[in-house]
């Protein structure tokens, strides 16, 4: 549904998207990850037809992005969505629904907690409430293609959970979903594949678990005991290891007679994958 081939985009003197190629199929959620400034928004804007590419080709269900036909099947949520401030929430949903020849979806209104805000003016909404309204506008036509830039921004934990359900519903309905996100735990569990951008280039792509395994970053064991173990100064030790079982087994003899107060094992995740790419590139995570 989404086909991108050799996409490049300049902003000022800089090449901010540099030869990007990928595709997203029906019923697939693909995450776009990378440090601030990696080019995620710049690429999404080209796919949404909101910015012109300087090179390469983008097709949305075979259509040119930004064409009326492509817009009709694409739900777009970008950062800082422009919403009509003087209208109330219900009027805004109605206005955007009419553009698609549909009626607002009561299911989405309820799922995004907009029923209680129906008569509130848009310019009096909080940041998270605006984001919920923008999500409802993007999702209500049940688009075949969803382009989401940081969809969980400003949402509280309950609403993040509900948003996840809505995105999964869209996937079940067959949508092709491309989602830029810094929520790497969410990307790991929600995305079928992730694309890692660094300085505008695609530097890794694949299933989250495969990228994490390929990065080979160590897990971290944090062990707190009732008193410092022999040879240790502190009652909390931190061990970084690629073999958690072997490290814990090696510790057991030293634990004889010393009660364990707390044990945490944190596996490597996509954060390590992003950081490793940023270090290779000489950029920093900000
Ligand atoms: N309006 C602009 N004019 C010129 N350069 C810009 C403009 N907006 C962004 N850039 C530059 O384009 C590059 C890519 O920015 P972009 O917003 O696409 O990154 P991003 O990966 O979406 O970052 P973030 O995670 O912070 O949202 C950055 O180097 C940024 O400084």
Residues 13-70: pLDDT tens digits? 999 999 999 999 999 999 999 999 999 999 999 999 999 999 999 999 999 998 999 9
Pairing status of strand 193-198 against strand 201-206: antiparallel
Mutation test residue for ligand 1: of 8, 37, 78, the one with most atoms within 8 Å of CB: 37
**pLDDT at 4 exceeding the cut of 50:** yes
pLDDT in tens, 211-224: 988 887 788 899 99
The closest of 130, 125, 132, 122 to 92, measured between CA atoms, is: 122
Say which CATH architecture domain 2-206 belongs to.
3-Layer(aba) Sandwich (3.40)
**pLDDT at 282 exceeding the cut of 80:** no
**pLDDT at 267 exceeding the cut of 90:** no
**pLDDT at 285 exceeding the cut of 60:** no
Report how far apart, in Å, the C-alpha atoms of 103 and of each of 8, 16, 22, 177, 202 are. 38, 39, 34, 23, 39
Nearest CA to ligand 1 atom 26: 36
Cα-based angle 228, 233, 235 (whole degrees, multiple of 5): 35
pTM for this entry = 0.86
Structure tokens at 194: 């992730």
Mean pLDDT computed over every residue of the chain: 92
**pLDDT at 225 exceeding the cut of 80:** yes
**pLDDT at 281 exceeding the cut of 80:** no
Counting residues of the chain whose pLDDT is more than 90, the rounded percentage is 75
Compute, in angstroms, the gap from residue 16 CA to the centroid of ligand 1: 7
Contact 39 CB / ligand 1 (< 6 Å):
yes
Contact 34 CB / ligand 1 (< 6 Å):
yes
Compute, in angstroms, the gap from residue 184 CA to the centroid of ligand 1: 19
Cα–Cα distance between 196 and 181 in angstroms, integer? 11
Contact 11 CB / ligand 1 (< 6 Å):
yes
75-107 as b/e: b if 16+ CB within 10 A? bbbbeeeebeeeebbbebbeebbeebeeebbee
**pLDDT at 84 exceeding the cut of 60:** yes
pLDDT in tens, 92-109: 999 999 988 898 889 999
- ipTM metric: 0.97
Q: How buried is residue 247: exposed, middle or buried, by Cβ count under 10 Å (0-12/13-18/19+)?
A: middle
pLDDT in tens, 162-210: 999 999 999 999 999 999 999 999 999 999 999 999 999 999 999 999 9
Compute, in angstroms, the gap from residue 8 CA to the centroid of ligand 1: 14
Nearest CA to ligand 1 atom 7: 11
Query: Domain residue spans in the chain?
Result: 2-206, 218-267
**pLDDT at 284 exceeding the cut of 60:** no
How many C-beta atoms surround the C-beta of residue 21 within 10 A?
Answer: 14
The closest of 185, 182, 194, 186 to 167, measured between CA atoms, is: 186
pLDDT in tens, 235-254: 999 999 988 899 999 988 88
The closest of 35, 45, 34 to 11, measured between CA atoms, is: 45
């Amino acid at each position: 549904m989404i086909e991108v081939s050799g996409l490049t985009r300049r902003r000022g003197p800089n090449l901010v998207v540099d030869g990007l190629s990928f595709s997203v199929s029906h019923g697939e959620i693909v995450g776009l990850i990378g440090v601030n400034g990696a080019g995620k928004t710049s690429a999404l804007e080209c796919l949404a037809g909101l910015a012109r590419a300087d090179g390469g080709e983008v097709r949305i269900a075979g259509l040119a992005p930004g064409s009326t036909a492509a817009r009709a099947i694409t739900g777009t949520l970008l950062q800082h969505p422009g919403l009509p401030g003087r209208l109330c929430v219900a009027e805004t949903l109605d206005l955007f629904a009419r553009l698609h020849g549909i009626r607002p979806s009561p299911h989405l209104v309820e799922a995004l907690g907009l029923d209680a805000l129906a008569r509130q003016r848009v310019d009096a909404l909080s940041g998270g409430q605006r984001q919920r309204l923008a999500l409802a506008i993007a999702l209500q036509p049940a688009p075949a293609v969803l382009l989401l830039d940081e969809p969980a921004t400003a949402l509280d934990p309950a609403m993040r959970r509900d948003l996840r359900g809505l995105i999964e519903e869209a996937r079940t309905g067959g949508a092709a979903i491309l989602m830029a996100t810094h929520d790497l735990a969410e990307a790991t569990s929600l995305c079928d594949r992730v694309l890692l951008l660094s300085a505008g280039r695609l530097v890794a792509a694949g299933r989250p678990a495969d990228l994490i395994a390929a990065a080979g970053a160590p897990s971290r064991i944090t062990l707190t005991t009732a008193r410092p173990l022999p040879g240790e100064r502190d009652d909390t030790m931190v061990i970084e290891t690629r073999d958690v079982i072997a490290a814990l087994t090696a510790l057991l003899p030293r634990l004889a007679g010393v009660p364990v107060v707390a044990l945490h094992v944190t596996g490597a995740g996509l954060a390590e994958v992003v950081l490793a790419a940023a270090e290779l590139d000489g950029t920093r995570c900000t």
